[in-house]
Amino acid sequence: MSPSKLNLLDFKNKSVTTLHLTWFAFFMTFVMWFNLAPLKPLIMGAFKMTEPQWKALLIMNIALTIPARIVVGSLVDKFGPRVIYSGLLVASGAMLIAFASAQTFEQLALFRFLLGFVGAGFVIGIRLVGEWFPARQVGLAEGIYGGWGNFGAAAAAFILPMLALHVFGGENGWRYAIGFTGLFAMVYGFVFYIFTRNTPKGSTYFKPKRSGGLEVSSRKDFLFYVLINVPMYLILAVLAWKLSPSNLKLLSSSTTYMLYGVLFALFAFQFSQIYRVNIDMLKNGSPDHDKYQFKQVAILNWAYFVTFGSELAVVSVLPAFFMETFSGLSMAQASMLGGSFAFMNLVARPGGGWFSDKFGRRLTMTFIMIGVAIGYMLLSQINASWPLLLAFASVVICSLFVQAGCGAVFAIVPLIKRRMTGQIAGLTGAYGNVGGVTFLTIYSFVDVHTFFMVIAATAAAGLVFVQFLKEPKGHMTEVNEDGTVQRIELS
């Protein structure tokens, strides 16, 4: 069956049913993760919050997601996506109810920080969908999973204010609205566990030889892998700095330095785990049949840093950009224009995956990176003399390439090394969050036009990097638990 003939209404097909169950699980994680901003006035009013406190809450909402995606990716590969996704939905739903019940800002901040873990749900479905669809369809399937799942953020923006104001009402309406979504997610966690399986009947679920870090194939790749982890800890240090006395003034100097020390200790611990997982390879090398090129992972990390990272940053910037550039726009109109950037996920992510399946992974990524670079250069030129319709069209065009890039990245992730798909997806996904924090930090130092040009430059660098991407073809090999080697076709 060709990718174009994938029938999404064929519920007798267990692969299709699994896809729908999985994208809805991802959808629920994004509803929980992004339910904060739509209820800002109600939450700030309930706690008499200052603007710096609100900004701190937003930072805490994403801080834990970066390491969580690495941890969850490893757990998925070891225990399987079925139990991990179910557990994440139930635990996050309970945490969301606790957040809705908070009585002090400190409690609110603590539960919001812990809820950052729900942002790791994305990587679980990448492995599950990759298990259920062949290589010729996996790009489209992953794109549908990512596109419809990401739509949870837009759904939260539309549905939660209505629930809080018109269904539950009263000063505690926001609590009931958030608590309801948490309860719904917990129930769906059990539904997901009952109706999904890790693999189709008769298929093998390959697991890593050791957990705690990616297995690599050479000493050069080992050093590359260690270096790839450094930016994640640096960006977490930036988040700590944002809360420090020199910025938002919500942490003392001693606490800030303590956090720096904790991050250094965590990096040292992760290095020890990476070394432990790869010690045999460092001593004896890797069998030829089990080798893969880590540069594939690094290139995808950068591509997701550019695409999803810029999306995270730009959706926070666009509403204010429209209001400041075009006089007469209301806050609601500017928010809708800015929100159109994320809305394109529904079409563009599956489109990026489909193009990748149909026309090749490297060719698609090349075309997309050119489009992203041109798109952001176009946005950097928008000013008050532009017709509003033309500015909006430019945003939509740029968004199409950005979201398609996200879909194309995860059309490749499941084709690198099956038993480590969760970890590869976790590392790549974490780099998307790193990109978001990096671009927003840059935005705090430059004007918005320079901000767009910086993103365009990172896309131009990505255009160079993707030329070194190896087209997945032929087959990959995996080792069964009994030591036998199995070939998995990639075409």
Check whether 78 has a pLDDT greater than 50.
yes
Task: Find out whether 489 and 475 touch, Cβ atoms under 8 Å.
Answer: yes
Amino acid at 93: G
Q: Are residues 177 and 319 in the same domain?
A: no
The verdict on 144 and 187 lying in the same domain is yes
| Calpha distance 4→20 (Å, rounded) | 17
Instruction: Read off the amino acid at residue 331.
Output: M
Residue 7 lies in a domain: no
Tell me whether residue 236 is in a domain: yes
Summarize pLDDT for 326-342 with one digit per residue, the tens.
988 876 688 778 777 87
The pLDDT of 232-239, averaged and rounded, is: 94
Can you tell me the distance from the alpha carbon of 109 to that of 56, in angstroms, rounded to the nearest whole number?
A: 8
Lowest mean pLDDT among 134-148, 237-251, 456-470: 237-251
Per-residue pLDDT averaged across 31-35, rounded?
91
pLDDT digits over 297-329, tens only? 999 999 999 999 999 899 888 888 998 899 888
Burial of 442 (0-12, 13-18, 19+ CB in 10 A): middle
pLDDT of residue 242: 87
The residues near 8 (Cβ < 8 Å, ≥ 6 apart) are 16, 19, 20, 144
Q: Looking at this protein, which amino acid is placed at residue 81?
A: P
Same domain, yes or no: 486 and 448:
yes
Asked if 411 contacts 139 with a C-beta cutoff of 8 angstroms, the reply is: yes
Number of domains into which the chain is organized: 3
Taking the C-alpha atoms of residue 145 and residue 129, their distance in angstroms, rounded to an integer, is 8
pLDDT band for position 5 (cuts 50, 70, 90): low
Domain finish residue from 285, 316, 331: 285
- Kindly state whether residues 157 and 192 are assigned to the same domain: yes
Residues 358 and 460 in one domain: yes
Tokens read off for 287:
């069998």
Give backbone dihedrals phi and psi of 294, rounded to 5 degrees, phi first.
-65, -20
Question: Using alpha carbons only, how large is the chain's radius of gyration in Å?
Answer: 22
Of 345 and 485, the structure prediction assigns the larger pLDDT to 345
Q: How far apart are CA 139 and CA 353, in angstroms?
A: 4
User: CATH number of the domain that 422 lies in?
Assistant: 1.20.1250.20
What is the average pLDDT value for the chain, to the nearest integer?
91
Q: Which residue has the higher pLDDT, 318 or 26?
A: 26
Give me 11's structure tokens: 């519920």
Contact 427, 214 (CB under 8 A): yes
Averaged over 32-55, what is the pLDDT?
Answer: 89
pLDDT of residue 483: 64
pLDDT band at 218 (very low <50, low <70, confident <90, very high): very high
Query: Domain for residue 206, yes or no?
Result: no
CA-CA-CA-CA torsion for 119, 123, 189, 28, nearest 10 degrees?
A: 50
Distance between CA atoms of residues 35 and 57, nearest Å: 12
Neighbours of 300 (CB within 10 A): 26
Q: Are 291 and 297 a contacting pair, CB within 8 Å?
A: no
Same domain, 421 and 384: yes
Quickly state the pLDDT bin for 482 (edges 50, 70, 90). low
Place of tokens 């950052």: 116
- For tokens 């450094």, the residue is 230
- Regarding whether 184 and 226 lie in a shared domain, the answer is no
Mean local confidence (pLDDT), 64-79: 94
What are the start-end ranges of the H helices in 163-252? Answer: 173-195, 219-242
Residue type, 474: G
Q: Are residues 294 and 419 in the same domain?
A: yes
Cβ atoms within 10 Å of 415's Cβ, excluding its own = 21
**DSSP 8-state secondary structure symbol assigned to residue 478:** E
Residue 269, in any domain of the structure: yes
pLDDT tens for each residue of 251-292 = 889 999 999 999 999 999 999 999 999 999 999 999 888 899
Mind listing the pLDDT tens digit for each residue in 158-195? 888 889 988 998 789 999 999 999 999 999 999 999 99
Q: 3-state SS of the chain: helix, strand, coil percent to 5? A: 80, 0, 20
How many CB atoms are located within 10 Å of the residue 248 CB?
A: 17
Of residues 212, 213, 215, the one with CA closest to residue 282: 215
Decide if 427 contacts 78 (C-beta within 8 A). Answer: no
Q: Are residues 113 and 234 in the same domain?
A: no
Which percentage of the chain shows pLDDT scores above 90?
Answer: 71
The verdict on 294 and 229 lying in the same domain is no
Higher-confidence residue of 441 and 487: namely 441
- 211-215, 294-298, 476-480: the lowest-pLDDT one: 476-480
Q: Quick check: is 273 in a domain?
A: yes
pLDDT at 478 over 80: no
The reported pLDDT for the residue numbered 491 is: 58
User: Both 407 and 472 in a single domain?
Assistant: yes
Quick one: pLDDT at residue 94?
97
Positive or negative, the CA dihedral 388, 389, 394, 399 is positive
Residue 93 lies in a domain: yes
Which domain range does residue 237 map to?
218-285
- Give the pLDDT confidence score for residue 231 in this predicted structure: 95
Is the per-residue pLDDT at 2 higher than 70?
A: no
Residue 63 to residue 377: CA distance in whole angstroms:
29
* Residue of 477 and 199 predicted with greater confidence: 199
Q: What is the mean pLDDT of the segment spanning 379-408?
A: 95
For position 331, what pLDDT does the model report?
66
Above 80 in pLDDT, residue 225?
yes
| Predicted confidence (pLDDT) at residue 1 exceeds the cutoff of 80 | no
Contacts of 296 (CB under 8 A, 6+ apart): 412, 416, 469, 470
* 204: phi then psi, degrees, rounded to nearest 5: -95, 135
pLDDT in tens, 378-392: 999 999 999 999 999
Domain boundary among 267, 285, 303: 285
pLDDT confidence of residue 171: 82
C-beta separation of 129 from 6 below 8 A: no
Which 8-state DSSP code applies to residue 418? G
Identify the DSSP state of 13: S
SS3 for 48? coil
Mean pLDDT of 82-109: 96
Q: Are residues 277 and 302 in the same domain?
A: no
pLDDT band at 196 (very low <50, low <70, confident <90, very high): very high
